[in-house]
Structure 1
Amino acid sequence: MRKTETKDEIIQGLMTTINNLNEEISLLREQVAYLTQKLYGNHQNKLLYQDKSVYLMKRILIVTKMRIFPVETEEITYHRRKHKAKRADILEAFTSEKVHHQLTGKDLLCPDCQKEMKEIGSWSVRQELLKIVKAPVPKAPLAHSYGSASIIAHTLYQKYELKVPAYRQEND
C-alpha cells in the first residue's frame, strides 16, 4: 500500500477484491455442484437460478473453465483372440455315414389312416462314440467317508507303525 492512498481508497480496493472473491467462490460452488450431479446423478430437478439466461451463462463459464484444464485420456488398444474351432477339428477326424432306414410291410403303413407313408427327408449322422462303458464304483471302506482304502491304510500305518502325529500327517 502506498502512503498517499486514503482510507476510502483502501476500503474501496478491498471491497472490489472481496466482491471478486465472492463471485469466484460462487462459481466454484456451482462447478462442484455440477460435477457432483454428473458423478452421482440428479436427485432433485431444481434450477439454481430462476432466470434461465443467467443460469446458461454461468454454465458456459463453467464449461469454458473446464476446457482450460483438459482431462487426459489414454487409449487402450488390444486384440482379442478368436476362439479356435477345437470342436470342429475334433469332429472332422470322424467319418460321417449316411444311414438310410427303409420301412417294409406293415411298418410302411400309417397307424392312423392306414395309407402308405413316404420319405420326407434325410440327414447324415456322425457316429462319434459307439459305447460308453462305466466302471463300477468300489464300495467305500467307511460309510460317508471321502477316504479310499489306500488312503486309510496309509494313514493308519503312519499313525500306529511310524508314530507320526496327526499335525505332521496334515503337512504331508
Structure 2
Amino acid sequence: MKLLILDRDGVINHDSDAYIKNLEEWIPLPGAIEAIASLSKAGWTVAVATNQSGLARGYYDLATLDAMHARLRELVAEQGGELGLVVHCPHGPDDGCDCRKPKPGMLRTIAEHYQVSLAGVWFVGDSSGDLDAARAVDCQPVLVKTGKGQRTLAKPLPAGTLVFDDLPAVAAQLLLR
C-alpha cells in the first residue's frame, strides 16, 4: 500500500492563528485538492491527521469539523479522487492525551486502520509538532513551506526532513515513484 499522511491546516487549507472555526473559513490552498486527487488516482491512499484544539476551546463543534471534512472529501471526489481516513485530536494542549501532535497517537491510529507499518511513510506537515510526531513513529518527516512552514524552516529540523514548497510539489515528487 502506498500511504501518505497529511496534516490539515497549513498543508491542505489556509491556516489561521485565530483557528479555522467554520466552513466559510475553511479555504483550500492552491493546488492542494488537485494534488490529493492526483495521488489517489495514481493508487495512493491519502490520510489526514489533524490537531483540532478548537473543539476543546469551544470555538466550533464536532458537526462543524465534520462539515469541513465532508467538504474536503467532496472537493477531492469532484477531481476524481478519494480521501482516506481523517483522524483528529479534539484535545487542548494541556489535556495530556496521546493523540495531540507532537505525540504520534493519530499516526498510530492510521497505521492500525490500514494495517501497515509507518516506517518510511511520508507525513507532510507545516509545524515542528508534525515533524516530531513523524520521527516518533519512524515516518519520513516532510515539511511544506505553506501555513506555518516558513516559521518552522527557521528552526532546527529533525535529521532527514524533506522540504517542499507546497503539497502539489510533494505530490509531483511522489508521482515520479
Superposition TM-score tier, normalisation by shorter sequence: under 0.3
TM-score after normalising by structure 1: 0.19
TM-score after normalising by structure 2: 0.18
Q: Which has the larger strand fraction?
A: 2
Q: Which has the larger helix fraction?
A: 1
